Amino acid sequence: MDSNQHGSDAVDLAGVICPSCGRELAPGAEHCAACGTAATARLTIKKDQGSRDARAMHSKWYVLGVLFLATGALGLPILFKSKAFSKPLKVVLTILVIVYTMAMLWLTYAVISWFVGQMKAVSG
Ligand SMILES: [Zn+2]
């Protein structure tokens, strides 16, 4: 079978992401099929982590993940700067994040006061 000999070469190229549009490039492709960016540009993406992070900021799921899992309302400036959301959506999300953060603060307070109550019950 000749096809087996080509297999190992293709592995390195598989999973290469277009630096411009983020699409996965076909193994060995010279240009991105979606936007036409030269595939050689992929070499710069690994060196340039900074711009990659900046692009991540404009990814919806990244921003939502940061807001709801890490920073809460403190991360709202990320949402404001992000280009991944329309203005009305930003307003809705801002309210959601604030409500969510308040709920989390309340939950934390409830747990702490329950814990303090338990401590008093034990000592008293
Ligand atoms: Zn592309």
How far is the C-alpha of 59 from the C-alpha of 22, rounded, in Å?
Answer: 11
pTM recorded for the entire structure: 0.49
Q: Which residues surround ligand 1, an ion (CB under 5 A)?
A: 18, 20-21, 32, 34-35, 37
For residue 43, how far is its CA from the centre of ligand 1 (angstroms)? 14
For residue 37, how far is its CA from the centre of ligand 1 (angstroms)? 5
Of all residues in the chain, the percent with pLDDT exceeding 70 is 72
* CA atoms within 13 A of residue 37's CA, in its CB half-sphere: 19
Q: Which of 67, 61, 78 lies closest to 101 in space, CA to CA?
A: 67
More confident residue, 46 or 35: 35
What's the residue count for the chain?
Answer: 124
The per-residue pLDDT for range 66-88, each reduced to its tens digit, is 889 889 999 999 888 888 889 99
For residue 92, how far is its CA from the centre of ligand 1 (angstroms)? 31
For residue 20, how far is its CA from the centre of ligand 1 (angstroms)? 5
For residue 55, how far is its CA from the centre of ligand 1 (angstroms)? 14
Instruction: State the average pLDDT over residues 17-37.
Output: 81
Residue with tokens 């709920």: 103
